[in-house]
Structures are given as structure tokens and as C-alpha cells.
Structure 1
């Protein structure tokens, strides 16, 4: 791709060579130099040397103008190369991680099962609702909150499973307190993330040790809170539905069952939830790494295109600068400008001779005039006849002598 771009740039540059050397502005400048030299009766050789020097100066100015962007282009090229190397390194790292996970999926396909992930997550949500049906009664009794809506005659659980919005509007305190207790049970997931940290040195060194101690303390508090809430079901008055006159008023086997279930449901729900997230997370990680690799590869291709464009620009400018300083460019510019110079020189010489014809011919002879035109590029101009000059009003023999 870089070679094709460079070829197109060179084609444009080759087509512009003639445009450069045939610049009307420079041809006008060459003609002006010739007119000044002719009007001052200077030798053509002196004017031609001046023209050559001017061509060299002009070509050098053009070459410097072409090279003005090279430092910026080189800096940009170094930055683009660094970005490309960074993209290549990232692609290699992503590919290594992707290959590792794919190999692990072949060895343990259940760890990457979408079905298991969705199933465990749904089961976790079901257990949470089951725990709410038990925990809400205990929360209302402990907090002394109303549990039955006097307008509809329904209690909190009946409204929650039939019209959650109505349950929130009628019993917001019971709903949020129950959810907060369930949230305490989910703290075990945060604690396990710290305990199962792969880098053991990071976990038990410096700041990591302090974080581990703090999170362990919080986990113990959360476990004690859940255990106390579950143990409250051993008290018949707390385990009974508030306002239910038919509730058991003595301790029984049901209180023990509710206590065990109240303690087990939050943590079993967390276990299913963690397992489901792990399965879904593993599958999503493969998809994420594949998308990340694709995006990174596209960024790398974009960087390569920019590198190729930058390289083409630098090579084009270097070739242009070399050509502008080459004898070929000087020869082309000199040959094109020479005609304008000689025409300007002829015009200036003619104007000088015509404006001072009588005086000039008295002071100069033809050999001197021929020496002005010693290059023999163009014929020597003759003064225009019939000039109204003071010396031209003499006798006929004098005019013939002239």
C-alpha cells in the first residue's frame, strides 16, 4: 500500500515539474532581469550569471519550503511506530489470554455454560423471594411496623407477590428493611473476592492486610446479623404474622425449621448467584476478549495506514528536495527562463538605444554594441528611425554618415 501511495505521489510530482519550472512569476522575473541589464547596457554574460544565481536561490527556497514539514513528520512517524508496537503487544497479550480461556473451556465446558449461568442466577432470585416471605414477618414484628393494609385487607406478602408497586406504597419500611437484611447476607461475595485473591503477597502485605482485616470484620458482623435474624424465628410471637389471631403462641418444630431456613436461604442464594455469575462471566470474558482483539487489530491497521501515509509524505518531500537541488532542475529552469531573459534583454537594449540614439552612436561604435550582445542569442536591435532627437535634425550627409 505504501508503494502504491508513493507511486501516486511521484506521478503528481512528475506532472508538476514542468509547472514549477514554467512558473509565469519566475519567467516574468527573468524577463525583468533581462530588461534591467539591457537598459543599463550591461553584457549579457553578466545578466546570465545573475539569472543562474537567482535560479539557484529560487530552487533552494523551494527545497527548504518542501523540507519544512520533515521534522514534524519524523516526530509523528516515531509516535505512530510506538503506537503500533503497543497495539501489537496488546494483541499478543489478548491472544494469549484468549487461547488460555479457550483451552480451559475445552477441559471444563461446564465452567463456561450459558445454560448453567442463567439457571443458577434464576434459582438464586427464587431463593431470595422465598427468604423475603419469611424475613418480612420477622422484620415487621421486630420493628413494630404494620403488616396489613386496612383499606384492602391484604398483608404485605399478599401485595408483594401480586402487586409489588402497591406493596411498596403501603409498606415501604418493611420492604426496604427486608432488602437491607438480604443485602447484608450478600457481603460474603465481597469477602470471598478478597480471600480468593490470586496474589497472596498483595493480600497480606501492607495495605492489603489492613483491607483483609476490615473486610473480615464486616463479614463476621454480617454473618452474626443474619444468624440473629434467623434465631428470632425461635420466638413464636416474632415468627407469627402480625395481627393473625390464628398464629401459634407456643414454641414448636416449625420455629426450628424457619430458623434454619432463614439462616440458610441468604447464603445458599448467594452461592447460586456467585456460581451463575462465574459461568456467565467466563463466557462473556471470551466474547469480550474476542471483541477487544478485533478492535485493537483495527486500531493497529489504522496506525499502519497512517504510518504508510506519513512515510509516503516524507519520501515524496525528500525526493522533491533532491530534485530541486539537482542539475536537472537547474537545467530545466534555466532553459525555460533563458528565452524570457533574452527577450527582456533585447527589449531593454532597444529602449535604451531608441531613447538615446543620437548620443549613443556618437559615443559607442558597433564593436562595443556587439560586445553587449556577445552571446549571439538574438540579433542586435537597431534604433527606431525618425526619432525626434536634437542630433537627428542635421544635414542629409550627417544623417547618412550616422
Structure 2
């Protein structure tokens, strides 16, 4: 199937096009940073953080609670309550910053690690645990928070995202000038997924149709055990220019910069200027999943180096050094984290087993005759076991 390249692909838009365009590949500022690891605010020529300190306090709370979700889920897996868990330790700023930049009408296509983005979209963390516990058959309503189902097939969600974004264009909710109506899509993936054919195909279609999609790559530098230097000869964000849309690299441990860059990229998409590639340069401080042992393939000193760039610690430093909070604030956040941990521990074990027939209920909005027949046949099959049990008695 061929695609037609439209003239609009080569137009990155007015000011934002220049910000996201070739300047970043031609000697311009490579890494967007607005908050240093020491907690100092810095300026950037192209991006700025337009929220107040109350918002930064909210970001701190979000990141602490997201890390607690991660910690509790890892412990639950170690105790046999979850089959597996994909950790996000160290990537909280990338997820909270980008997640809080979303408008209510925007739609998210995650991988299997976007627990912080799910938190921003008001998805109950227990829903996430249900997937990894095996008691949720993946049938939640995507309209609940405009947050799609976790995707295990690496990179597949980027094609889904572009298709959904093209649907938004046809629904007339792009480029209207109404900020409460204009919508876009964010596709999350990692540096390893950027090597997948699906992801590169999604770039082609997004550029060809000028789709309102933000490709948000969390470059945590390890595709399981494969380092990023074996995957790409150039910084990942520079790949975008070869497909015909702009890219930018942001400090993925800087929640302020992640918010500002994602907000600008979404604005481009909302106004009809097309896709943007955002590379959040971060580090996976935990394991790829709870079945992984990262000590077998990476150096401990690298981990120690990145601990000094901890995304939560730098916001903590900013808040304290500027006298914006007192110890009571941090205590309240920790108390809330404790309550969240209790909720997850008790709630996970109480999750009910699914009805086997419920797998048929969320395939189509209107059930087809073929699916209804399948459901009826499966119900009869299950009933035959009940009959066998009764006869055995």
C-alpha cells in the first residue's frame, strides 16, 4: 500500500516549527533543561515553564506517589501476587511532565510501563495491577481517562496511535482554534521500540498525513540488555527529520522541561501542524521487568551516576532551597504514599477472578452475530464441565 506525501508535511509551522526543526540537529541547544539536578531553575531559548510553584509541588506529589505504585507492585510480584511487573524507577519526570501536559480530550497510547501517565489520567492503579495479576482480560473502557490499554507487543501501539490521530482529523477536532476541542494523540515507546519496523512505519504515515500525534520516546538507554549505542548512530530525536517532521531531545529527569516540551509539541498537533518526535533522555534505574537482572549487563557506577540525577530529588531540592515548602508538606506526601501502598496491597489481593464469558463483551460496541454464536458455544462448553461435576457427585 502506498502513501501520498502532502505538501503540509514539510511545513513545520511558524515559530514552533523553527523551535523543533533543524536547529536542534545543526548545532543548536541539544538537550532542553529547565531544572538542573541540583534543583536550580535555568532558562532555555526556546522553551519555558509557564506554571507556578503550586504546580511544581503537585508534580512532586505525583512523582512520589507514582514511585510508590512502582515499589508496591514490585514487592507484590516478589510475593507471588503478580505474574510480572515493568518498573519505571527513574522515569517519573518524563511520565508526569508529559502526562500533565495533556488536554482532557487528548488520547494516550502507552506501552506497558506508563504507570505515571496512567496516574495523570486518573486510572486507578489497581486496574494496572489487574493486568499483571491476570484477572483483567484487557477490557477496560478506553474513554475512561482517554488512556488506551497497555501494549505488550513492542511498538505496535504507535501504528494504533497514528490511525487514531488520522481519525481525529476526519472527525474535525484538529485545527479548529478551539482549545477545548482540538485534540491530539501521544504515543509512548522506548528506545528499543524505536528499532522496530512498526514504529518507523508509523513515522511514515504520520508525516504523510500530517497526523496530530506526538511520538514520546523515553530513551532509558537500555532495550532490555541492549545499549542505545548499538541501536542508533545518531541521537534518536534526529531521526524525525528524515521522515519529514521535527524532533527535540529533552532532559527526561527534568519534570519541568518534559512538561514544557510536550505542551509545545501538543500545541503543534492541536493546531494542525503535524507530528513531533520527543526524545526524553533518561535512565532506567530499575530492572526492565521483575524477570530481569540488570547487574548482568550494566555497570554499577553508571547507576550511581544517574542516582545523582534522580528526578524526585531535584524537585525536592528546588522546593527546599527556595523555601516553598516545609517539612510538613513532605510528611503529608509520605503519609499519602503510605495510604496508597495500603490500598494497593489490600486491593490487589481482593481483585476478583474474571467471568470467562466477559472476554466477549468488549470486542465491539455492538456485538456481531458471529461473536454472539462464539460466546454461546463457549458458554455451553463451560456448562459441560459443570454437568460433569454434578454427575461425578
What range is the shorter-chain TM-score in? under 0.3
TM-score where L is the length of structure 1? 0.17
Q: Which has the higher contact order (CA 8 A, sep 6+)?
A: 1
Larger Rg belongs to: 1
TM-score where L is the length of structure 2? 0.17
Question: Which structure is higher in helix share?
Answer: 1
Question: Which structure is higher in strand share?
Answer: 2
